[in-house]
């Protein structure tokens, strides 16, 4: 017995939806990375000091940890930023340039989980289409074709769902963020020493 054309149509449509789900996830990841690069263009983050160095060789220290929005804010000193020759191209704030860094990496951030949820929903629809077609046409060859495509769909769904399994409470447990203020002089000295070694 041959395979009903409807089986190939269902399998093809499921594969198309799978490609859409993967494409949406990759596009969202790329957009997130590009946005991060745009917001911090020219600035260098130093994890050892938890501080940013601007193109004018000045320091932006951590000013606020927003656990509600899962963000860490860094700000330059107003007395320096307001007299900087590059201020007009950097910021219009009189309180110093601010940089915001997400506490959670992609896809654990709220935006990442939202876009991944959309991709998961599309993948789930692809699985439903295959399951419904298996009920309508369940000859051995037809089930083999549908089963093979369904296995691929399940594998992709398992991969996309990994972020949700890893963060059942919506966000990963935040690592302890030191509450003490870092001495600007110590950071500047350490930065210049490391820069001298690299040079």
pLDDT of residue 177: 44
What is the distance, to the nearest Å, from the Cα of residue 117 to the centroid of all Cα atoms in its chain? 13
Q: What is the extent of the structural domain holding 67?
A: 5-175
Instruction: Render pLDDT for 153-171 as a digit per residue (tens, 0 to 9).
Output: 999 999 888 866 665 444 4
Instruction: Render pLDDT for 19-68 as a digit per residue (tens, 0 to 9).
Output: 999 999 899 888 888 888 887 888 998 888 889 999 888 889 998 888 87
Q: Is 185 a domain residue?
A: no
Q: Is 199 a domain residue?
A: no
pLDDT of residue 190: 44
Q: How confident is the model at residue 107 (pLDDT cuts 50, 70, 90)?
A: low
Given strand 71-76, what is the order of strands in its sheet? 44-46, 51-53, 59-66, 71-76, 98-102
Residue in the structure block whose two tokens are 């000013």? 63
What is the distance, to the nearest Å, from the Cα of residue 148 to the centroid of all Cα atoms in its chain? 31
Q: Is 197 a domain residue?
A: no
Q: Is 189 a domain residue?
A: no
pLDDT of residue 176: 46
What is the C-alpha to C-alpha distance for residues 66 and 63, in angstroms, rounded to an integer?
A: 10
What is the C-alpha to C-alpha distance for residues 5 and 137, in angstroms, rounded to an integer?
A: 10
| Number of folded domains that form the chain | 1
Q: Is 65 a domain residue?
A: yes
**Which long-range CB contacts under 8 A does 28-31 form with residues at least 24 apart?**
28/111, 28/112, 28/115, 28/116, 29/106, 29/107, 29/112
Q: Is 191 a domain residue?
A: no
Mean pLDDT score across all residues of the chain: 81
Q: Is 180 a domain residue?
A: no
What is the C-alpha to C-alpha distance for residues 187 and 76, in angstroms, rounded to an integer?
A: 13
Q: How confident is the model at residue 178 (pLDDT cuts 50, 70, 90)?
A: very low
> Which of 17 and 175 is assigned the larger pLDDT?
17
For the chain, the residue count is 199
Q: Is 184 a domain residue?
A: no
Q: Which letter does DSSP use for residue 103 in this model? A: S
pLDDT of residue 12: 96
Query: Above 50 in pLDDT, residue 132?
Result: yes
């Amino acid at each position: 017995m041959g395979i009903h054309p409807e089986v190939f149509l269902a399998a093809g449509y499921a594969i198309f939806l799978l490609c859409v789900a993967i494409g949406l996830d990759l596009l969202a990841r790329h957009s997130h990375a590009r946005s991060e690069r745009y917001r911090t263009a020219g600035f260098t983050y130093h994890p050892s000091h938890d501080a940013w160095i601007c193109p004018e060789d000045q320091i932006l220290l951590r000013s606020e940890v927003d656990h509600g929005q899962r963000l860490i804010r860094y700000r330059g000193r107003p007395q320096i930023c307001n007299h900087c020759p590059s201020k007009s191209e950097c910021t219009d704030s009189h309180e110093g340039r601010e940089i915001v860094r997400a506490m959670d990496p992609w896809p654990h951030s709220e935006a990442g989980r939202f876009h991944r949820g959309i991709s998961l929903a599309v993948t789930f629809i692809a699985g439903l289409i295959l399951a419904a077609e298996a009920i309508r046409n369940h000859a051995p060859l037809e089930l083999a074709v549908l089963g093979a495509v369904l296995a691929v769909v399940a594998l992709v769904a398992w991969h996309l769902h990994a972020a949700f399994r890893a963060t059942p409470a919506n966000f990963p447990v935040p690592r302890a963020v030191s509450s003490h203020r870092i001495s600007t002089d110590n950071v500047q000295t350490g930065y210049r020493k490391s820069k001298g070694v690299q040079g």
